[in-house]
Amino acid sequence: MIKKTIIVTGGFGTIGFALSKSLLEQGHKVIIADNKIKTIKNLKLNKFNVSVLKTNLNNENEIKKLISLCTKKFKKVDALVHCAYPKTKDWGVKLEKLKQKSLNENLINQLGSTIIVSKNIINLFLKQNYGNLILLSSIMGLNNPKFKTYKGTNMSSPIEYSAIKSGIISITKYLAKYYSKKNLKINCLSPGGIIDNSQKKKFIRNYKKECNSKGLLDPKDVVNAINFLLSEKSNFISGQNIVVDDGYSL
């Protein structure tokens, strides 16, 4: 296995942290970029293989600084996985209560930052003559939400989430075509719902009814697919949206 240098944005999030641990266990060098820094004691791995950088991914100057620091320390960046998921405090409200200010902020913070992060890392990849970019979308970017899964709960699937995640799939395809013949691998991953402590049992049961077997996924289920896209086994896969959802979107 070829050891790589990989940036994980949103590296302290649910998927990002699970991915960072997996990559370090494999012996890769990992740069965790997040707007909130947490302890890395849980990683319990070679401290020389991990760097943690507090980064506001909505600020292009900070994105450039992040990439510059990575290249100075590790001389290269083989891949970037964009797991960042910034959201406003009122994220998740129903459409009837959606505020324009929050809508604008979430669209810029999630969709806008995806474009700017992609632009800056691809500029480095072009200088290197290679690179691998993986963006994270969602099954909500593929289909309409199955609203009945939220019945009997106070949960909902925000309309802006569907807009953002479908936009990320489009960005992936655009970039892959725009930079064709540049030795870049650009793909997207669309996970199903991820289990966490906030979900009610009723929602978990409703959700599982729409799946093949497991229902809500563990972060490692998504990480396995990302590891594949980072590996040489996925060579010649580009511009694709890989769905990992236990059949929910069928």
Q: Which position among 85, 130, 161, 179 bears the catalytic label?
A: 161
CB within 8 Å of 97: residues ≥ 6 apart: none
133 phi-psi bin (left φ>0, alpha ψ -120 to 50, beta other): beta
Q: Which two tokens stand for residue 26?
A: 């494999």
Q: Which amino acid is residue 86, in one-letter code?
A: P
CB of 135 closer than 8 Å to CB of 118: yes
> In the structure, how many helices (H) and strands (E) does the chain have?
7, 7
Distances (CA, A) of 226 to 70, 151, 222, 247: 21, 32, 7, 18
Residues 70 and 50 sit within 8 Å (Cβ to Cβ): no
With beta carbons less than 8 A apart as the criterion, state whether 15 and 194 touch: yes
Residue 63 DSSP label:
H
What whole-number distance in Å separates Cα of residue 133 and Cα of residue 40? 24
Q: Which two tokens stand for residue 163?
A: 């807009």
List of residues 6+ apart from 104 with CB closer than 8 A:
none
∠ Cα 223 225 227 (to 5°)? 70
Residue 161 falls in the annotated catalytic set: yes
Residues belonging to the active site = 161
